[in-house]
Structure 1
Amino acid sequence: MPLLHRFAHLIAHAWQTTLPVLVILVAALWLVMFGENPASEQAMFAALLLIYMVHQIEEHLWPGGFRQYANAHVFKTGRDDWPVDEAGVALVNIAWVWLPIGLAALFPETLRWVGLGWVGLTFVNGLSHIGTTVRFRGYNPGLVTSIALFLPFTVWVFATEFSRGALSGAEIGGLIVAGVLLHVPVAALFVIPYRRRTPALV
């Protein structure tokens, strides 16, 4: 197995096991850097990354099972690792979550709208977990942190930014629309291979 492929396989298989340590490190760093100014946009973006990591623990580590749940209930494939597989889950959570939010936290002025766009994505993600629970009438991995963290935090960000004139109502609405659109590439990553292979499985 080529070294690069082996490294990618290791990350795809084990990234979630690093989450508890990362949560502790990011939380400690956040307190040191933003304890005196927790409502700055940079502090908000850094807190969003921390909150997302806690959410990922619920989805993929404890109790975990998001991948298996999506395959069983959303796609109904009868397989634990298709179309939502380990590699795709790692790609989404690292490249589509950690990377843009982390960069926005590092460069809050240059990437302000990236950070705010991912606040919109997080708000929509929280609603999607609740919608999934309503649809399938049962717990889905990520529901608790969606209710306890995602929705309160993102509503607070929008309310705080609106109250100090940093965001208008129309801009908040646009960010929520952006949050919906930002889910399209994630869905396509799994839906496209599912649609292409469904006829062969019937």
Structure 2
Amino acid sequence: MVNWLAKRWVAAALFMGVGFIALGPAIAISFSGFLTLIYLHLPIYMLHQFEEHAGDRFRHFTNTRLFAGKEVLRPVDVIVVNIPLVWGVNLFAFYTAVFVKTGLGLVAPYLLLVNALLHIITSLRFRCYNPGIATAIALFIPLSLITLIVSAGVPGITMRDHFIALIAALFIHVAIMAQAGLRLHQMH
């Protein structure tokens, strides 16, 4: 099942991302501007995933550049991070912002912003393209910053909401890196 999914999820992300963006106008007339922006984080992330993972580019780059050729990042790791975690967090952000508390949606822009910054840092460190950098700069930074700016005018969103969302986004990325670091350590 993992091999089957590993070969297909990236193409599915591209088609689903485009489809969800096509639903954007209906979402925009049904929800506030802020909630529409939160909704758009999932399909924009899916477009990023296509750039990042088509041809297994990110896994290959990470294992080659960051882990000196060791197979630390496996196909199953990529699937777990990107489908239940990334898609799940973005769906959680939208649904909790709609049905529970608007400020809970802020995890989506912070997740994109942290990811974009990590792509930029990696590109600067290795002085090369890393899979995902183009969409991180062109899509993630503008969308996340616009969403955070719009959130300032949304009643009920507090600085505490921003802090919790930022900590959650940082925790997710640190947990992913720690898991890879643990696997690398186990290989020695």
Q: Tell me the equivalent position of 2:184.
A: 194
Q: Tell me the equivalent position of 1:55.
A: 48
Count matched residues. 187
Does the 8 Å contact 2:62/2:73 carry over to 1? Answer: yes
Does the 8 Å contact 1:88/1:189 carry over to 2? Answer: no
For the residues of structure 1 that align with 2:174 and 2:77, how far apart are their CA atoms? 14
Identity rate, percent: 27
Comparing 120-129 with 181-190, greater Cα deviation is found at 181-190
Q: Tell me the equivalent position of 2:60.
A: 68
For the residues of structure 2 that align with 1:36 and 1:109, how far apart are their CA atoms? 14
Q: Tell me the equivalent position of 1:33.
A: 27
| TM-aligned CA deviation for residue 11 of structure 1 | 1.2
More helix as a share of residues:
2
Structure 1: tracts of 5 or more residues without a match: 1-6
For the residues of structure 2 that align with 1:30 and 1:83, how far apart are their CA atoms? 37
Q: Tell me the equivalent position of 1:121.
A: 111
For the residues of structure 2 that align with 1:9 and 1:15, how far apart are their CA atoms? 10
Q: Tell me the equivalent position of 1:140.
A: 130
For the residues of structure 1 that align with 2:125 and 2:16, how far apart are their CA atoms? 33
Q: Tell me the equivalent position of 1:154.
A: 144
Report the RMSD for the aligned CA atoms in angstroms.
2.2
Partner amino acid, structure 2, of 1:18: A
Largest Rg, 1 or 2: 1
Q: Tell me the equivalent position of 2:37.
A: 44
Cα 1:99/1:164, change in 2 over 3 Å: closer
For the residues of structure 1 that align with 2:31 and 2:110, how far apart are their CA atoms? 22
TM-score, length basis structure 2: 0.87
Does the 8 Å contact 1:100/1:115 carry over to 2? Answer: no
SS of the residue corresponding to residue 61 of structure 1 reads helix
- Greater relative contact order (Cα < 8 A, sep 6+): 2
TM-score, length basis structure 1: 0.82
Q: Tell me the equivalent position of 1:91.
A: 80
